[in-house]
Chains A and B, each alone.
Chain A
Amino acid sequence: MNQSASADIDTSKIASIAKPYKLQFEDAQDSWVLLYPEGMVKLNGPAGEILKRCDGVKNILAIIDELESAFDQKDLQKDVVGFIEIALEKQWIDLTSATSTS
């Protein structure tokens, strides 16, 4: 279960929105946006769905599970991990190890 699609991303890690970013849904734009000092990134549908689950509690595997059941799809691992890589590179999110192993 713990295999990762990418050599770099450990899917047992927990993702959270990094400082100074703030994620929220904007009615006026009908989309999720990332706010940061003096700017904004408007997210497309899938990006918003993934980032809103980066809540500092769930690990990446759990996020994938949740998305697969929410959208009734399988094999989302590759897409999700691919986006996580991008988000990491852009420093939108932080990855941390679980404090307690469960």
Chain B
Amino acid sequence: MNTNAITSTSGESQKTDKVGPPLWLLCELTYRCPLHCVFCYNPVNFDSVNNELDTDGWLRVLNESRALGSVQCGFSGGEPLLRDDLEVLVAEAHKLGFYTNLLTSGVGLTESRMSKLKQAGLDHVQLSFQDSTKELNDFLSHTKTFDLKHKVAKIIADHEIPMVLNCVIHRLNIDYIENIIEMAIELGAEALELANTQFYSWAKVNQEHLLPSRDQLERAERITNEYREKYADKLRIIFVVPDYYETRPKKCMNGWGNVFLTISPDGTALPCHTAAMLPGADFPSVAEHSIEEIWYNSEGFNRFRGDSWMKEPCRSCPEKENDLGGCRCQAYMMAGDPAAADPVCDKSSDHHKVQAVVTKAQLPNGQHVSEHPLIFRDAKSSKKLEKENVVF
């Protein structure tokens, strides 16, 4: 999911101290997935979550969020198509007046499911591609899916559902960026999101393998810009820069508890899909609380709202409105304190840790990795990482 895109929301609502509604509802229907992406954004311990919300539970989430003022609804996973009540949920969301988005790898999107989803009122599909070249794609997703995605893209186009292609970019595929763009054009996508890997969860585990060098990045940006000019009226290309190469952090989730509400498969409500890693009290569950209580009154959602939780250097920083101190998870992972400045910021006393990672990424292939080989997202690795207490 492109968390930057919501910035284009004209959400002046948050200028005041009043907390606005959760405009964006993300329903992570399941962590089950037929793929094994090395950059998977599900928690590394996903395998221990096996009590998924049932259909009624999700219907209640949809109704309560919509009543609070949510307008966008994303169905993601894992692979949301593995839920056979997906059509029921999309239909309800549509009936309630949500703009409905399906975030899928495409596995399981048959002709008949697509037409049922279309009937249910699906507004938009984000189809994720691991890469445009077959070999690399199969390698990175660990299953033979590339041909299938071609087929799926055609099914989506035939049903005239607007589609954005999403491709996670990293050291192993960034040099093929022109192939990826060409493919998006060939598949008739309206938009292509080239999302540089964000280092959480499985991507964090595999960070050394995945962070591109500065040269790679510059080349990719240059080529992207050339294509942007050449195909200006055909394809909109969104290039999400990797924050490790910046000196100011991103305004993560556009502010904690500001517009985003994520419900994870077991019904835990989160301000962002990686927030469960943070220390402190557990986040509230929709099984026990109403969405209204959760959004406005829970400790979890109020923990980093606004800026009164900030420490130095953020507290007295003249730029704090721009980024609200960056990402809480990144602060926790790298500075050991979720209320610290995001170490991407060069005012952070832990910025050198980001720099060390970036420096290492400039080494030639073969020398840039000193830890383990690539770890694929699967149940076995999940169990192992959980045993080792990896929290990402």
Contacts and interface: CB of A to CB of B under 8 A. Distances in A.
B71 to A, nearest CB: 6
Interface stretch (A18-26, A58-66, A94-102): A18-26
A29 B18 CA distance: 13
A37 interface: yes
Contacts of A24: 97
A37 B101 contact: yes
B99 interface: yes
Nearest to B103: A38
Interface in A25-57: 26-29, 33, 35-42
Interface in A1-32: 19-20, 22, 24, 26-29
B162 interface: yes
B210 interface: no
B332 to A, nearest CB: 26
Interface residues of A, number: 17
Given A20-B162, A20-B190, A42-B11, A37 B69 contact: no
A22 B11 contact: no
Nearest to B259: A40
Contacts of B123: 20, 22, 35, 37
Interface in B132-171: 160, 162, 164
Contacts of A40: 9-11, 23, 71-72, 99
The A contact surface, by secondary structure, is strand
B23 to A, nearest CB: 7
Given A20-B123, A29-B13, A38 B69 contact: no
Contacts of B124: 20, 37
Nearest to A36: B99
A42 B126 CA distance: 23
Contacts of A39: 5-6, 8-9, 72
Contacts of A20: 123-124, 162, 190
B17 interface: no
9 contacts: A20-B162, A22-B99, A28-B68, A36-B99, A37-B99, A37-B162, A38-B24, A41-B10, A42-B12
Which 7 pairs between the two chains have the least Cβ-Cβ distance? A28-B69, A20-B162, A35-B99, A38-B5, A37-B124, A42-B10, A39-B8
Interface of B: 1-2, 5-6, 8-13, 21, 23-24, 68-69, 71-72, 74, 97, 99, 101, 123-124, 126, 160, 162, 164, 190-191
